[in-house]
Structure 1
Amino acid sequence: MAAAAIAALHAATAQAAAAQSSVAPGSIGAAASQTRQGYWWYQTPPKGEDPDPVAEPIRKPIVPPMTELATWTPPRIRKLIEAQRDYAATVLTVDAVADFWRLEDFARRKARAFAGVTQLAMLQHPELNSKSSNPMVGDARDQLSAYKDATRASYLRAHAGEFALVMFSRTSCGYCRVQWPIVQRFQDEIGWQVTLIDLDRRPELGNRFGVEMTPTTMIIRRSSQQRMVIASGVEAYPTLKQMAYQAVRLLTGDIRPEQFMTGPGQEGGFFDALANGPVAASDPEALGLAGLGSVPGGRP
């Protein structure tokens, strides 16, 4: 029986060899490539076809008469200027370069005309001009700065019992030694309580208030969870007072986040972002107006 089994094995081997020799070489490669495909098998991506070596023909842009060009929109004019510039830089002829500068001259005069009409519109609509809210004359600017400073100080003094300043520092922080006298000046002039916290001694407070760098100056509202960072690093006293003023107005609800850059006396004026209506799609007033559509009497 052993001899019969050996004979059968030899016969099977001969048949497999005959079958393998009858397979075409190309089909063997295809079968091998199919077995090699898998997640970890690297296959070189096929090379893309070479781009056409023939260069694209140079086309001269069509420059219309100025009367027609005056009816074009600025984006369309800009595209024509760029096309003429590329064409002129390619052919380098006097006529092509001159056409490019004629287009540039037209764009310059167009901008000049727009500026002229803008100045006229500002005279007829002073509410669109910042000069009434931000005078440029030296004496007037000094008076405006003094008024803003007095308004900030008065507002902050009125909230001295409701808020406090906390400055986080470290023993090894040289900048903290510069910032701390500035914070103390805030206490002397405004009357707020100021506190210095050394994070080397109280590291748990840094984690609690999310302080990652020193010095960090923060406003904290008493008997509340409200707080707000007003300075990260060294800040001058006027900047510190201005940021404290804006932060208190925001925390008390006197202003909205969109009005954070609105200064004293600027509410409802040129520098108030919400002076003429909502500016964001999430604004409650904007959401209400969205349902009006084209209803008669609705605001546009």
Structure 2
Amino acid sequence: MQMNFSQRLCLSGSIFLFTVGLVCTPVSVLALDEGKDAAFYQKHKEGWFWYKDPDPEQEQPDVISTNPEAAPIENRYRNSSLTEVDIDALWTMYPDDFQELLNHVQNLAVQDPSESNVLRYLVMQDVARRKALAYTNASMYVTQKYGDLFNVNQVYPAAKPGVTARVQMEQHEIGETIASGRSSHALIYFTSPTCGFCEKQNGVLNYFVEKYGWTIKPVDINRQSAIAARFGIETTPTLLLIKKGMEEYMTVAVGVVTLTELERKLYRAIRYLGGETRDDSFLLYDFQKGSALDPTSILKKKGGQSP
């Protein structure tokens, strides 16, 4: 009987402890939850729909620019005595200094249009005019004295008889160059059946062949698209110049051109492929070499352009 009582007592004690544990546990959990809820509600609401005012920007102190260009430059003659500047000083004054002084004198004349101020400004204007005239005279003198350096009239005259002679020399040189290049050059003529401009160009090319006896190879860009793609041709009519033994080629004309224009362009292309001209002398004729129209001829002269 005692054993049974002990067992019952133990069972009763276990039940009591378990019951106390169940009662205490929710209290502890509730206390923790209350602490979390208090911290949550004290926290600022965050998320997409909650707007938070940005932190106020701190006022920046005004920065004073140290760039000298920001501040207007005062005319250095503003507070100077103009009576000390005589004609001789004005005549030999550096142009930038003269312009600065002239601006100041003009401003004074506009601010106070008295007789003395206006007279001073007109005198300076007269000095400037005379100085420009002196430079023009000196420039004409030097140009005439050293005409071989600066004058293009010897190869590009302006007088009518000289113009006639120049045109004849150009035409003769063009004709000789095209005729001599007939055996070593050929023209590729890109065309198409639907090209209306090609019909007009055909007549010009027929006359060109009769005059010079050149070989012109027609290429239909529709039927011979591979050749057109090789040279990157998309427009008709187009004329290309090729040379024997040379992979390099050059476009002569795109679109309809007259016979005179074709001759001139072909002449320049022949000379360029032959190495007689470069990019910077592409328009140069043979009779103009070494003249003022030859850009690099000055580099070949001893001492440059110094007389």
Shorter chain as denominator, the TM-score bin is: 0.5 to 0.7
Structure 1 residue 234 and structure 2 residue 259: aligned? no
Sort the Cα spacing of 1:124 and 1:226 in 2 relative to 1 into closer, same or farther, 3 A. Answer: same
Identity of aligned residues (%): 21
Letter in 2 for 1:30: D
Q: Residues 56-71 of structure 1: matches in 2 within 5 Å?
A: 65-71=86-92
Structure 1 residue 111 and structure 2 residue 132: aligned? yes
TM-score normalised over the length of structure 2: 0.66
Verify the 8 A CA contact 2:250 2:269 in the aligned structure 1: yes
The structure 1 residue matched to 2:236, chosen from 214, 217, 223, is 214
Structure 1 residue 156 and structure 2 residue 181: aligned? no
For 1:11, the equivalent position in structure 2 comes to 35
Larger Rg: 2
Letter in 2 for 1:219: L
TM-score normalised over the length of structure 1: 0.67
The structure 1 residue matched to 2:158, chosen from 136, 142, 145, is 136
For 1:254, the equivalent position in structure 2 comes to 276
| Unaligned 5+ runs, structure 2 | 1-24, 46-51, 64-71
1:132 positional shift: 1.8
Q: Deviations over 1:88-109 (max 9, x none)?
A: 8985957777766665554443
Cα RMSD (Å) of the superposition? 4.2
Q: Residues 1-300 of structure 1: matches in 2 within 5 Å?
A: 1=25, 4-18=28-42, 29-30=54-55, 65-77=86-98, 87=107, 93=113, 105-127=126-148, 128-277=150-299
For 2:288 and 2:101, locate their aligned partners in 1 and report how far apart those are by CA, in whole Å: 44
Sort the Cα spacing of 1:79 and 1:59 in 2 relative to 1 into closer, same or farther, 3 A. Answer: closer
Q: Deviations over 1:119-139 (max 9, x none)?
A: 111221120211222223322
For 1:191 and 1:233, locate their aligned partners in 2 and report how far apart those are by CA, in whole Å: 22
Verify the 8 A CA contact 2:239 2:252 in the aligned structure 1: yes
| Unaligned 5+ runs, structure 1 | 22-26, 34-45, 50-55, 280-296
Letter in 2 for 1:234: V
For 1:89 and 1:237, locate their aligned partners in 2 and report how far apart those are by CA, in whole Å: 64
